[in-house]
Structure 1
Amino acid sequence: MIDNAPSRLKPKSRSRFRWKRLLLQIIAAFLILSLVPVALFRFLPPPFTLTMLFDERGFTKDWMSLSEMDPDMPRAAIAAEDGKFCSHHGFDAVAIAQAMRHNASGGRIRGGSTISQQVAKNVFLWQGGGFVRKGLEAWFTGLVEMFWGKRRIMEVYLNVAETGLGTYGANAGAMRYFGHDASRLSVSEAARIAAILPLPKKRAAIAPSGFTRRYGNSIARRMAAVHREGQDSCLR
């Protein structure tokens, strides 16, 4: 009668076998815990994010599909946040390098994250830095690029991004600032919402002044180029 293989192993070999089995179990659990929500949110709206959940003001959101939303809103997001959205595969190495050089020189902090990276962070992770969070962000960015596609990534982004104090998504932001939903935004309204995305707790879309006003006007001018040059072609 033949004994089971693990029982014939020496103590060190048995220990190594157990560690390998544990590692495989951890990897399998990680894959399941990451792939399942990515698959679900490919079709279902995320009910909340950790940022919403821990917002001390609570949160207001009102999901709107990309097909219902005024096309100027995604154009404004591309103009403001990610000019290469339709051409990259989740990461913009040039933008990241430029942001690193700019931040190293001091002054206003500039981010180099793509919209895909922001979706990965907002939907699946927490705010803040650190190598662990950045590593997980890269993993989830690759997953949403692979399984969602650009339209879904933009749709989720425009529904979970913080657009004001306790306000999440372009539709809720439009209702808050302009008194109507995001299906009929003007160019200037879409640009103003996009202008507050980097610092929604410190900027307002109504009667903006200073940098926010200038930035919004700059976005509005760029939106025409986004459409003319086909930078939003993956959303049409």
Structure 2
Amino acid sequence: MRTRKRLIDWIWPRGPLWLRVLRLLFVVLLLPYALILLYWLPFVHPVSTLMVSDLALFRGYDRRWVDLEKIAPVLVKSVMMSEDGQFCSHYGVDLVQLKGVIDDALNGEETRGASTIPMQTVKNLYLFNGRSFIRKGFELPLAFATDFVWSKARIMEVYLNIAEWGPGIYGIEAAAQTYFKVPASKLSASQAALLAAALPNPYVRVPNRPSRGMRAIAGIIARRAAASGEYVRCVYP
């Protein structure tokens, strides 16, 4: 009881309101970095903020955790080549792509996406959807920290188990079972490419009912995955 009271006093101390708010803000900002250390443990299966939101709104969701070794390598390669081709060579943030986005913004041009898989992972775990420089300000140091602490294989494993593949469908096992009636370990190259193509817009792109445009994108992804070679060496040496 005394320990609990001491913890409450530390988080919400007596004194001026501004000091209480400052202390609480510090705890909130520090929490994701503590969770990075917790989620490094292989037996911990993290959930995303969207999954928590679905539970809070009594919507529920389908997520079946699966270890990286039980995911078809062609799916991992397809997602990597579709979402973050330099995954093995950067340190959480692709600085070349990020510089291009900043230059476009400063020139008043429409910016393109520059999110790496580590950035998408920390966004899904700790932050919120939507494009804003405020979110990016939190996202970048978290991505660097995650890439420093976790192995590339762990980052990919967590990402593939929290990524959203449709309303209430989270993780590759639930997606594979929902759309193709097979486990993630048995996905074919074409199925893997379609699932990877759906990731940027899972509410519009449906893997088992692809449009002509989606099929074309999946074809490009399949060819890149087949020729990935050195690009995936950090996961498949």
Residue 163 to residue 129, structure 1, CA distance change in 2 (3 Å) = same
Equivalence for 1:179:
181
Q: CA deviation at 1:36?
A: 1.9
Question: Which stretch of structure 1 is more off in the superposition, 153-162 or 93-102?
Answer: 93-102
Identity of paired residues, percent? 38
1:191 is aligned, of 173, 190, 193, to 193
Give me the whole-angstrom Cα distance separating, in 2, the residues matched to 1:197 and 1:169: 11
Distance 1:231 1:87 in 2: 8
RMSD: 2.6
Provide the secondary structure at the position in 2 that maps to 1:67. Answer: helix
**Secondary structure of the equivalent of 2:129?**
coil
2:46 maps to 1:39: no
Q: Against the structure 1 CA distance between its residues 75 and 208, is the aligned structure 2 distance closer, same or farther, given a 3 Å change threshold?
A: same
**Map of 1:137 onto structure 2:** 139
What does 1:195-234 correspond to in 2, within 5 Å?
A: 195-226=197-228, 228=229, 230-234=230-234
1:107-126 pair list within 5 angstroms = 110-126=112-128
Whether 1:66 and 2:38 are equivalent positions in the alignment is no
Q: CA offsets per residue over residues 172-217 of structure 1, 9 Å max, x none?
A: 1100111011011111111110000000000111131122111011
Q: Which letter maps to 1:233?
A: R
Indicate which of 80, 83, 86 corresponds to 1:81. 83
1:99 offset after TM fit, Å? 5.3
Task: Give the Cα–Cα distance (whole angstroms) in 2 for the partners of residues 40 and 210 of structure 1.
Answer: 43
1:137 and 1:105 mapped to 2: Cα distance? 22
Deviation at 1:144, TM superposition (A): 0.7
Q: Equivalent of 1:153, from 152, 155, 159? A: 155
Out of 26, 29, 32, the residue aligned to residue 27 of structure 2 is: 29
Q: What TM-score do the two structures reach when normalised by structure 1?
A: 0.80
Tell me the residue number matched to 2:8. Answer: none
Corresponding letter in the other structure for 1:232: V
Which residue does 1:96 correspond to in 2? 98
Match of 1:45, SS state, is coil
The structural deviation recorded for 1:222 is: 0.6
Amino acid at match of 2:146: V
The structure number with the bigger radius of gyration is 1
CA drift of 1:115 comes to 0.4
Residue type of the partner of 1:112?
Answer: A
- For normalisation by structure 2, the TM-score amounts to 0.80
Q: Distance in 2 between matches of 1:188 and 1:142?
A: 33
Displacement after TM superposition at 1:90 (Å)? 0.9
Q: CA deviation at 1:110?
A: 4.0
SS across alignment from 1:29: helix
Deviation at 1:104, TM superposition (A): 6.2
Which 5+ residue runs of structure 1 have no aligned equivalent? 1-17
CA distance in 2, matches of 1:104, 1:82: 25
Q: Structure 1, residues 39-96: CA drift from partner, whole Å, max 9, x if none?
A: 11112111x2221233465321111110111111110111101110000011112333
Distance 1:24 1:78 in 2: 40
Question: Deviation of residue 142 (structure 1)?
Answer: 1.4
In structure 1, C-alpha distance between the alignment counterparts of 2:89 and 2:114, rounded to whole Å: 16
Q: Deviation digits for residues 101-140 of structure 1, max 9, x if unmatched? A: 499656xx74110001000100111112333321111121
**Alignment partner, residue 52 of structure 1:** 51
What corresponds to 2:235 in structure 1?
A: 235
Report deviation, 1:26.
Answer: 6.7
